Amino acid sequence: MKRAACTLVLLLVAQAQAHSEPTPASLCTKPTPPANAQQYTIDLANASALGKTRYGTRDEVQIVFTNKNPFLFDYRFTLKEDVVTEPALEAFLRLFQTVPAPAIPLPAANTTAPTAGAAAVDTPTPCDTALLNAERSLHQTETDLLSRFTDLKLRTERIALLFQQLKGTIDPQEKILNDPTQPCTALVQAAVTTSTAIDSALKPRVAGSLGEELEQFATKLGDFKVALGQGVGLPRTLLLGLRTVGCTASEIHGLDDQLAKYDKTITVLQESLKAENPQGLAKAAADFDKAAKEAQAKSKGIADVLKRPENFQETRIVGDFDDVTIVTITAERKKREESTFPSSPYLVKKLRFGGRARFALAAGAAFSTLNQTDFGAIQGVERTPEGEPILTDNKPNLTRVVGIKDEADQRVTPMIALHTRIAEGKGVVSGYHATFGFAGNVANNGVNLEYLAGVSLSFAEERFFITLGAYNGRVEELQKGFYEGLALPAAITEDPVIRGRDWDFGFALTYKFR
C-alpha cells in the first residue's frame, strides 16, 4: 500500500514538460513533388488513389501515402518493379476504464457520550480516573479513525467523478483515433485534444484538479494507515495501564462492550486496507494508480507520435526505367496490438511505365440466349407418354416422377475473359480485341465450365470491354425411354439425363483487373 501511494505521488510530480502543440497543417499538408516529377496519392483511410496509372518509361513519379493512422495501425509499404512480360496472359493460364467509487460499508460512529464509568464518588480512586481516561481514549481514537476513513471514502468518490469527467472528454477523441477512415487533420486534432486534457487533469498542486486530488488521497491514505496501526495496539496499552493502577478484573470488565465495539470498527477498517477486498481503499488506490499511469502513458505516446510527420504520411520516388515496367505498390497494415501483419495486404496498386500490354485479363458477366432445362426426380402426377394423367380411383396418381427442376430461356453467368488486342481504337474506343472467356454456370449443386468466344470493343483505356460472340454451354436431355411424368422406381437414384453442350448467341460485359 505504502509503495503504491509513493509511486502515485512520484508519478504525478514527474509530469512531462509542456511541448509546443503540432498542428494539422504541419503534419498533414501533402508535399510538393520534386521538379519534373508527377504525383500519385494513395489515401490509406479509404484505400483510394488519385493520379494517373500510366506514364512514359522515363517519367518519375512521387508516390505519397496519406492519412496514416499511427494510433490504430502499423504500416509496411513495398514497391516491386517488374519488366512487362504480358502478365495478363500468364494470369489467364494459372482507458481507459472508469475507476468505480469504492462502496465500503462503514461502521456506525460512536455518537454516544462516554460512559461515566464507576459511580461518582467524592474522591475518585486512581482506577476510576484510569477507566474514564480509557473510555475517552477509545472513543476519540475510534472517532478519529472513522473520520479519516469517511474522508478517504469521499475522496475516492470525488476522484472517480474526476476520472469520469476526463473520460468524457477523451472518449470522443478516442473514437476518432480508432476510426480507420478518419483523415490526418482529424487525427492530429483529436490527438492534441486528448494529450492536453490528460496533462491538464493530472497536474499536481492545481486546486481542484484530478492530480491534486490523487496526491492528497495518497498522502492521507498513508496517514490513515499509520493511525490505524497505532489504533490496533491501543486496547492492550489501556488494559496494561488499568492493571498497573490496581483496577480489578471486575472493574475492567465494565469496558468490555466498548472494547468489543472498538474491535469491530478496527476489523472493518483493516479489511478496507486488504488488497483482495474489491471495494476497499487499497483496491481503490491501486485502481487510481493504474488509471493515472495508463493516462500518462497514453499522453506520452501521443506526444511521441506527433513529433514525427512521417507517422501520418510517407513518400517514395519511382520511375525513369529503360524498359516497359509495372510497379506494384503494396500497403500492409495491422492493429498495433497484433504481432504480425495479415496474410492479405490492405491494398495493392499498380503503375505502368511504358506502352500498353497486348493482353488484358478481365472479369464480369456473360449473357446468353442458350436455353437451360434441368430434369430430375420430382413429386408430381404420373402421366402417359402423350401427357395424359394416369388416374387411380378417378384421382391423379401423385408419386415420384420425371419432371423439370429448373428451366430458363437464357442464362447469366460470371466470367473471366482474356482479351487480345488486334487493333488500336480511336476516340472513345480504346481498341479491338479477340476474346475467349470461361464462365461458371451453377446447376445441379455444381459449377459447370462454359465458354464465350468472340470479338470485343474496349473503352476507358482498355479497362471496360463489351464482347459479342458464340456461347458454348451445358444442356440436358432425358435418356431414351424416359419422358416427363414417368413414374420412377425407388431403385433409380440418379437423374435419368444425358448431359451435353450446345452453342448459341453470347454477350458479355467485363472490367479489367487493375
Residue-wise pLDDT tens digits, 410-429: 889 999 999 998 888 888 89
CATH of residue 262's domain is 1.20.1050
Q: What is the dihedral of CA 101, 105, 107, 108, to 10 degrees?
A: 70
Give the pLDDT of residue 441.
Answer: 80
Give the pLDDT of residue 514.
Answer: 58
**What whole-number distance in Å separates Cα of residue 448 and Cα of residue 455?**
23
Backbone angles phi, psi at 52, to 5 degrees: -70, 155
Judge if 136 and 274 occupy the same domain.
yes
Tell me the percentage of the chain whose pLDDT exceeds 90: 25
Which is more confidently placed, 3 or 376? 376
pLDDT digits 0-9 by tens, 454-492: 999 999 878 899 999 999 988 888 878 788 877 888 778
**pLDDT band, very low/low/confident/very high, at 23 (cuts 50, 70, 90):** confident
β-strands 73-83, 325-335 pairing: antiparallel
List Cβ neighbours of 506 (8 Å cut-off, separation of 6 or more). Answer: 366, 367, 368, 370, 452, 454, 467, 468, 469, 470, 471
Q: What is the dihedral of CA 156, 157, 160, 161, to 10 degrees?
A: -150
In 3D, which of 493, 495, 490 has the Cα closest to residue 402? 495
pLDDT digits 0-9 by tens, 369-385: 888 888 888 888 778 78
- In this predicted structure, the answer to whether residue 12 has a pLDDT above a threshold of 60 is no
- In this predicted structure, the answer to whether residue 16 has a pLDDT above a threshold of 70 is no
Judge if 406 and 449 occupy the same domain.
yes
Judge if 143 and 290 occupy the same domain.
yes
Give ∠ CA 215-216-222 in degrees, rounded to 5: 95
Give the pLDDT of residue 471.
Answer: 93
Domain interval for residue 72: 35-94+311-353
Judge if 167 and 234 occupy the same domain.
yes
Give the least confident one: 5-9, 42-46, 294-298: 5-9
Residue 461 maps to a domain: yes
Judge if 212 and 226 occupy the same domain.
yes
**pLDDT band, very low/low/confident/very high, at 327 (cuts 50, 70, 90):** very high
Residue 113 maps to a domain: no
Beta bridge partners of 448: 441
Mean pLDDT, to the nearest integer, of 164-175?
A: 90
Residue 9 maps to a domain: no
Residue 28 maps to a domain: no
Residue 339 maps to a domain: yes
Sign of the dihedral defined by the CA atoms of residues 263, 264, 268, 269, in that order? negative
Q: Where does a domain end: 305, 325, 340?
A: 305
Give the pLDDT of residue 507.
Answer: 94
Which is more confidently placed, 409 or 189? 189
**pLDDT band, very low/low/confident/very high, at 92 (cuts 50, 70, 90):** low
- In this predicted structure, the answer to whether residue 352 has a pLDDT above a threshold of 80 is yes
- Contact by Cβ (8 Å): 38, 62: yes
Q: Which of 113-117, 403-407, 421-425 has the highest mean pLDDT?
A: 421-425
Greatest Cα pair distance, the chain, in angstroms, is 135
List of E strands, 117-167: none
- In this predicted structure, the answer to whether residue 106 has a pLDDT above a threshold of 50 is no
List Cβ neighbours of 494 (8 Å cut-off, separation of 6 or more). Answer: none
Judge if 385 and 346 occupy the same domain.
no
pLDDT digits 0-9 by tens, 266-322: 898 888 888 888 888 988 999 988 998 988 888 898 888 888 888 899 899 998 888
List Cβ neighbours of 50 (8 Å cut-off, separation of 6 or more). Answer: 40, 41, 43
**What whole-number distance in Å separates Cα of residue 84 and Cα of residue 445?**
40
Give the pLDDT of residue 98.
Answer: 42
Judge if 278 and 328 occupy the same domain.
no
Give the pLDDT of residue 438.
Answer: 92
List Cβ neighbours of 432 (8 Å cut-off, separation of 6 or more). Answer: 421, 422, 423, 424, 425, 455, 456, 457, 458
Tell me the percentage of the chain whose pLDDT exceeds 70: 87
Judge if 470 and 422 occupy the same domain.
yes
Q: Number of structural domains, the chain?
A: 3
Judge if 327 and 444 occupy the same domain.
no
Q: Which of 110-124, 215-229, 237-251, 402-416 has the highest mean pLDDT?
A: 215-229
> Taking the CB of residue 79, how many other CB atoms lie within 10 A of it?
13
Q: Where does a domain end: 324, 353, 382?
A: 353
Judge if 181 and 278 occupy the same domain.
yes
- CB neighbour burial string for 301-312, b if at least 16 within 10 angstroms, e if fewer: ebbebbeeeebb
Beta bridge partners of 471: 452, 504
Mean pLDDT, to the nearest integer, of 385-395?
A: 81
Judge if 272 and 395 occupy the same domain.
no
**pLDDT band, very low/low/confident/very high, at 209 (cuts 50, 70, 90):** confident
Mean pLDDT of the chain: 82
pTM: 0.55
**What whole-number distance in Å separates Cα of residue 477 and Cα of residue 351?**
50
Residue 210 maps to a domain: yes
Judge if 374 and 503 occupy the same domain.
yes
Q: How far is CA 476 from CA 191, 345, 371, 473, 480, in A?
A: 65, 43, 10, 10, 12
Give the pLDDT of residue 95.
Answer: 36
342: buried, middle or exposed (CB in 10 Å: 19+, 13-18, 0-12)? exposed
Give the pLDDT of residue 4.
Answer: 46
Residue 26 maps to a domain: no
Q: Where does a domain end: 305, 339, 373?
A: 305
Give the pLDDT of residue 89.
Answer: 55
3-state DSSP assignment of residue 124: coil
Cell of 267: 476489523
Residue 10 maps to a domain: no
